[in-house]
Amino acid sequence: MKGFTAAFLIWTLISLNGGCSQAWPTHTACKDGSLEVLYQSCDPLQDFGFSVEQCSKQLKSNLNVRFGIILREDIKQLYLDITLFTKEESILSYSYPICEEDLPKFSFCGRRKGEQIYFAGPVNNPGFEIPQGEYQVLLKLYNENHSTVACANATVICS
Amino acid sequence: MMPTTRLAGILIPAMAFLSCLRPESWDPCVQVVPHITYQCMELNLYKIPNNIPTSVKELDLSFNPLRHLSSHSFSNFSELQVLDLSRCEIQMIEDNAYEGLNHLSTLILTGNPIQSLAMGAFSGLSSLQTLVAVEINLVSLEDFPIGHLKTLKELNVAHNLIDSFKLPEYFSNLSNLEHLDLSNNKIQTICHKDLQVLHQMPPFKLSLDLSLNPLDFIQQGTFKEIKLHELTLRSNFNSTDVMKTCIQGLAGLKINRLVLGEFKNERVIKHFDTSAAEGLCNLTIDEFRMTYFDDFSEDDISFFNCLANVSTISLVSLYLKRLEGLSKDFKWQHLKLTNSKFEHFPMLELDSLKKLVFTANKGMSTFIEVKLPKLEFLDLSRNGLSLKSCCSHSFWGTTRLKHLDLSFNDIITMSSNFLGLEQLEYLDFQCSNLKQASDFSVFLSLKNLLYLDISYTRIQIIFEGIFDGLFSLRVLKMAGNSFQDNSVPNIFKALTNLTFLDLSNCQLERVSQVAFGSLIKLKSLNMSHNRLLSLDLFPYKFLHSLQDLDYSFNRIVASNRQELQHFPSNLTSLNLTGNCFACICEHQSFLQWVKDHRHLLVGVTQMVCVKPLDMQGVPVLSFRNATCQMSKSVISLSVLAVLVVSVVAVLVYKFYFHLMLLAGCKKYGRGESTYDAFVIYSSQDEDWVRNELVKNLEEGVPPFQLCLHYRDFIPGVAIAANIIQEGFHKSRKVIVVVSQHFIQSRWCIFEYEIAQTWQFLSSRAGIIFIVLQKVEKSLLRQQVELYRLLSRNTYLEWEDSVLGRHIFWRRLRKALLDGKPWSPEGTADAESGQHEATTTI
C-alpha cells in the first residue's frame, strides 16, 4: 500500500512538470551537410509548421518556403520582426511589412482569425553566404494591434 | 498510520492536479471590460459558460470545442453585439440558435466544419451587419439561410467550396449589403442568369471580391448595366487568353473601382499581354487598379486608351518600364505608379492630373521635367533620385503644388527657393541628402507651408536665417541633422505658428537661452537622443503652450532646483527615460522632484539609475530618501555624541572633586586626625594664607580642615606643645608655605624641622611644599635640609594668574586627598596603620 502511494506521488509530480509546461517541440526546417536550421515556436498559444526548400551554406535569393498555421488573429496587416543573435547578443534587427491594407501583396493577407493558411512560395530574401557559426534568430509576426500571430526561435548551425 | 498515509495519498495528488489546472477552469473567461467584453478563447469549453453577466456585449468563444449549437443557446445574452465562434468545431447549428440576439451586429463563424445548418439557424438576428462565414465548408449560397438579414452590410464567405456565382433571389432583400467576399472559392464560370438579382439591388453600393477563384469563363453580357462599387479579380485567370475572354465578359459594367492583378505568391500568368485588357474599353470605370503582373508587355500600352476617362489609376508592382504616348487629354486626375521598373522618369503631359504618386521605382536615377499644369500633390519618395537643382515650378510645370514629397531619395541640391511654388503646404525631404540647404533662406517664399520634414537630411545648420519666411509652419521635423558647436542657435525666430518641433538625434550639447523664444504656440518638442547633460528648463520658460517635452535618451545625470523652477506652466507630459541618472544622496532633491511629478513623467517606471553601480538598473522611483536620512542622522548622532562626551569630560574635569565625593558615597572621614593639614607659614604670609589658602581649601569642594596656629592652637599651652599636640599630632599632612620670610623666621624653621622629624617617625609622606615666592638661593642654602628637599621633591609654586591658580589648587587638593581614607574600610586601614606607627614608637 505504502509503495503504491509513493509511486503514485512520484508519478503525479513528474506528470505535473510535463503537464503544466507549454514548451513546443523543436522542429527541423531544413538540414543539409553544412547547414541545419532548427526552430521552436515561442507563441504560448500554438505551434506551427515551416520548411525551407533549399538548404545550403550559399543562401540563394528568393528561397521557396512552406508555412502552415491556424490563425489566432486577423491579419489585415501583418509585420515581421527578425532579430539575429550570436552569443546572446543582438547583432541585427529588421522589421518588414508583409501585409498592408491597400492592395495586399500576398494572398493570405486579410485572412481571418480561425482560418487555416498555407503558404508555399518564394520569399523576398537576398542571397548571401552564411558565415560559419551558430546563430539564433527570433522571428515574430504580429498584426496591426501588435498581437502575436506567430513567433519562432530559430537556430542556424553552419559548419 | 494507515489512514494518514491514505489521506496523504489522496490529498497530495489532488492538490497537484488542482495546481496543474488553470484557474480559468472554474472562472474561465477573461474580463476585458467589466460587464461588456469577455474573452474565453481556447479554454476547452464544451458549452457556453453560464457565469458571464447578461450585460455582455462582446463575447469571444473561439477555439473551444462547442461542436453543437442548439436552439436558444445565447438567450441569456440579449445585449450581445459581437459574437466570435471561430474554430469551435461546430458541425451543427439548430433552428433559432441565435434567437434573442436582437442587438448582435457581428457574428463570426470562421473555421467551423458545418455539416448541418438548419433553415432557421440565423433567425432573430435583426441587427446583424457583419457575418463572417469563412472556411465553413459552404457549398452554395443558395442553401445559406440569410435571406431575412436585411441589415446585413458585409457577408464574408471566402475560403469555402462555393462553385457557383449564382446570387440567390434573397439578395434582393439585402438592400444594405456593401461587401460580398467570395474570394478563394471554386467558382469557374459566371453566367448571365447568375447576376440578375443585382439589378434589384441599389446601384454602386456592392463591393465584390472574387479573387483566387479559378475563373475560366464569363458569359458575354453578364455584367451589362450592372452597377457595382468595386470588383476585385486577383489571381483568377490561368492564362492571358482566359483573362481576355473574361474581361470581355465584363462588358457593360459600370463600376467605381476595378481591381485586376495577381498576388505575389499566386502568380499564374507568366507573360502578361496587354491585349488581355482591351475589353476594358467596354466598361465604365471611375478608378482602375492593377497590381502584380509579371513581364508587362513594353511595347503596347494601348489599352490605356480604354482607360482615358478613368479618374484614378493605380499601377502597383507591375514591372512597367515605360509609360509614354499617353494623350494629354486623358481625364486622369490621380495616378499612382509604385514599385515599377522605370529606367527614366516617364514623360508625362497630362492636363487634368492633380495627384501623382511615383514611389519605390528601382533602377531610375535621372529625372526629367514634366508638364502637369494642374498638379497639386506629388509624391516622389523612395526612388533613389538625384535632383541637381531643386526646386522651382518649371520642374513639374505647375504652380498649384501643395504637397511635395521627396523623401528617401539620393542627393538633392537646393539651388532655388521654390520659385513659383508658393502654394506649397506640405514638404518632405526626409532621409534624402540635402545639399546647400543651409547656405541661404531656402524656404523664404513658402509662406503657406504648414509641414516641413528635413529629418536625416545630413544638413549642418550654420546659417541662422534657414527658416526665414515660414510664417505659417505648424510642424517642423528636423531630427538627425547637426548644428555648428552642437548648440541650437536662434533659427526659429520666424516660426511663430509652430506647434510641433522635432530636434531629436541632432548631437545637441547645449540649448541657447533664446533659441525657442518666439515659439509661443509650440505644443510638442522632442529633444530626445541628444547629448544634453542637464535638464535646464530655462529656455522653455516662456513656452506657455508647451504640453509635451521629450528629453529621453540624453545624458542627464540630475538637475538642480534652479533649473527646474522654470517649468513651463502648461506642460502635461515630460519624458526623461533613457538618461544617466545618478541615484545618490547628492541629487536627493531632484529624485524627490521626480517622485513629486510622476504624474506628468512619461514611462516613469522605466526611468532607471545608471550610477552608482549597486543601483544600476533600479528604477529611480525606488530610490529611498531614508538612505540619505540614515547617513544624516548617523552624522548628527555622532556629532551629538562627541559633544556630549566632551561636555561630560569638561564637567568631570570641573567637578572632579565633587565626583570623588559622590563616588565615595559617604563623607570622607579624617580617621584619627582632626585636621587634614597643618599649615606652617610665616606670619608675614598670613594674608595669603587667610585669603587664599583657607578660603580655597576650607570653603571649596571637598572641604578640608586646616590647622592654623592663630585659630586652632589652644591658648595657655606652650607654642611647642601646641605645634606638636594640635599641629602634627592631629593632622594628616603638613603644608609648608616657603617664602623669604619663612626662611628668616625661627619658629617656622623650628616647625619645619619638627615636621620633618614627625614625618620620619610616623613614616608618612605628608609634607607639601608651597613656594610662595622665589627664594634667593643663597638664603635657601642656609637651610641645607630644606634646600635639599626642595631640589629633590616636587613642590607647588604659587602663580598669580588664572590658569596658574587653577592648576595650583587642583594639584594641592589632589595632594591633600592622597592617603585620605574614603570609606570605612579605608578608615580602618588608616587606623591600623596608625596603630602600627604608634607601636613602633
Nearest C-alpha of chain B: how many angstroms from A115? 5
Query: Residue A16 and residue B86: Cβ atoms within 8 Å?
Result: no
Classify residue B440: in a domain, yes or no: no
Q: Which residue of B has its CA nearest to A14?
A: B16
Which residues lie below 8 Å from residue A139, measured CB to CB, with a gap of 6+? A80, A81, A82, A150, A151, A152, A154
Query: Residue B9 and residue A8: Cβ atoms within 8 Å?
Result: yes
- Residues B681, B744, single domain; the answer is yes
Nearest C-alpha of chain A: how many angstroms from B36? 20
Classify residue B684: in a domain, yes or no: yes
Percentage with pLDDT > 90 across chain A: 34
Q: Which residue has the higher pLDDT, B787 or A133?
A: A133
Find the range with the poorest average confidence among B158-167, B259-268, B822-831.
B822-831
- Strands A89-99 and A116-122 come out as unpaired
- Residues B617, B681, single domain; the answer is no
Digit-coded pLDDT (tens) for B392-405: 888 788 889 999 99
- Residues B617, B689, single domain; the answer is no
Residues of A in contact with B62 (CB under 8 A): 113-114
Classify residue B411: in a domain, yes or no: no
Q: For residues B386 and B408, is the Cβ–Cβ distance under 8 A? A: no
Nearest C-alpha of chain B: how many angstroms from A14? 10
Residues of B in contact with A13 (CB under 8 A): 16
- CA B351 from chain centre, in angstroms, equals 53
Digit-coded pLDDT (tens) for B569-583: 888 999 999 898 888
Query: Residue B16 and residue A105: Cβ atoms within 8 Å?
Result: no
- CA B677 from chain centre, in angstroms, equals 85
- Hey, what's the torsion of the CAs at B665, B666, B667, B673, to 10 degrees? -120
Q: Which CATH class is domain A23-158?
A: mainly beta
Above 80 in pLDDT, residue B832? no
Size of interface A-B (CB pairs under 8 A): 89
- CATH code: domain of residue B702: 3.40.50.10140
Last residue of a domain, one of B594, B627, B660: B627
Please tell me what DSSP assigns to residue B467: T
Classify residue B581: in a domain, yes or no: yes
Classify residue B687: in a domain, yes or no: yes
pLDDT confidence of residue B507? 93
Three-state secondary structure of B424-441: CCEEECCCCEEECCCCCC
pLDDT confidence of residue B27? 62
Digit-coded pLDDT (tens) for B730-749: 877 888 888 877 777 777 77
pLDDT confidence of residue B4? 57
- Residues B605, B683, single domain; the answer is no
State the ipTM, two decimals.
0.84
CA distance to B5, B678, B681, B682, B742, per residue, from B749 (Å): 109, 14, 9, 9, 7
Please tell me what DSSP assigns to residue B371: B
Find the range with the poorest average confidence among B209-218, B288-297, B666-675.
B666-675
Classify residue B263: in a domain, yes or no: no
Mean pLDDT of B363-377: 84
- Indicate the SS3 state at residue B237: coil
Mean pLDDT of B664-680: 66
Domain borders along chain A are: 23-158
Would you call A131 an interface residue with chain B, using a CB distance cutoff of 8 Å?
no
Digit-coded pLDDT (tens) for B410-462: 999 988 888 889 999 999 999 999 998 888 888 999 999 999 999 999 999 98
Would you call A145 an interface residue with chain B, using a CB distance cutoff of 8 Å?
no
Query: Residue A20 and residue B20: Cβ atoms within 8 Å?
Result: yes
- What totals of helices (H) and strands (E) does chain A contain, helices first? 1, 11
Q: For residues B392 and B421, is the Cβ–Cβ distance under 8 A? A: yes
Classify residue B73: in a domain, yes or no: no
- Give me the DSSP letters along B583-638: -SGGGHHHHHHHHHTGGGEETGGG-BEEESGGGTT-BGGG--HHHHHHHHHHHHHH
Query: Residue B16 and residue A13: Cβ atoms within 8 Å?
Result: yes
B514-526 CB burial, b ≥16 within 10 A, e <16: ebbebbebbbbbb
Specify the number of domains making up chain B: 2
- Indicate the SS3 state at residue B763: coil
Percentage with pLDDT > 70 across chain B: 90
Q: For residues B523 and B545, is the Cβ–Cβ distance under 8 A? A: yes
Would you call A100 an interface residue with chain B, using a CB distance cutoff of 8 Å?
no
Structural element, H or E, at residue A122: strand A116-122
pLDDT confidence of residue B11? 55
Last residue of a domain, one of B627, B649, B667: B627
- Residues B683, B616, single domain; the answer is no
C-alpha cell at B631: 547617513
Domain extent, residue B741, equals 677-816
Residues of A in contact with B156 (CB under 8 A): 112
- CATH code: domain of residue B552: 3.80.10.10
Q: For residues B579 and B607, is the Cβ–Cβ distance under 8 A? A: yes
Last residue of a domain, one of B596, B611, B627: B627
- Residues B619, B686, single domain; the answer is no
Average pLDDT of chain B is 84
Classify residue B759: in a domain, yes or no: yes
- Residues B691, B782, single domain; the answer is yes
Q: How many residues does chain B have?
A: 841
Q: Which residue of B has its CA nearest to A107?
A: B263
Of B138, B73, B83, B133, nearest in space to B109 by CA: B133
CA distance to B158, B190, B592, B595, B737, per residue, from B589 (Å): 63, 78, 5, 10, 70
- Indicate the SS3 state at residue B828: helix
Nearest C-alpha of chain B: how many angstroms from A6? 8
- CA B718 from chain centre, in angstroms, equals 105
Find the range with the poorest average confidence among A25-34, B100-109, B281-290.
A25-34
Nearest C-alpha of chain B: how many angstroms from A132? 31
pLDDT confidence of residue B745? 79
- Residues B613, B684, single domain; the answer is no
Out of B132, B264, B314, whose CB is closest to A112? Answer: B132
Would you call A87 an interface residue with chain B, using a CB distance cutoff of 8 Å?
no
Percentage with pLDDT > 90 across chain B: 42
Would you call A121 an interface residue with chain B, using a CB distance cutoff of 8 Å?
yes
Query: Residue A114 and residue B314: Cβ atoms within 8 Å?
Result: no
Preferred mutation among B11, B62, B87 to probe A, highest tally of A CBs within 10 A? B87
Query: Residue B12 and residue A9: Cβ atoms within 8 Å?
Result: yes
- Give me the DSSP letters along B250-292: TTT-EEEEEEEE--TT----SS--GGGGGGGGGSEEEEEEEE-
Digit-coded pLDDT (tens) for A79-89: 999 999 888 78
Query: Residue B263 and residue A112: Cβ atoms within 8 Å?
Result: no
- Residues B686, B805, single domain; the answer is yes
Above 70 in pLDDT, residue B762? no
- CA B635 from chain centre, in angstroms, equals 34
- Residues B719, B619, single domain; the answer is no
Q: Which residue has the higher pLDDT, A119 or B839?
A: A119
Would you call A7 an interface residue with chain B, using a CB distance cutoff of 8 Å?
no
Residues of B in contact with A20 (CB under 8 A): 19-20
Above 50 in pLDDT, residue B839? no
Digit-coded pLDDT (tens) for A106-124: 899 999 999 998 888 888 7
CA distance to B221, B248, B337, B792, B807, per residue, from B284 (Å): 14, 13, 22, 140, 125
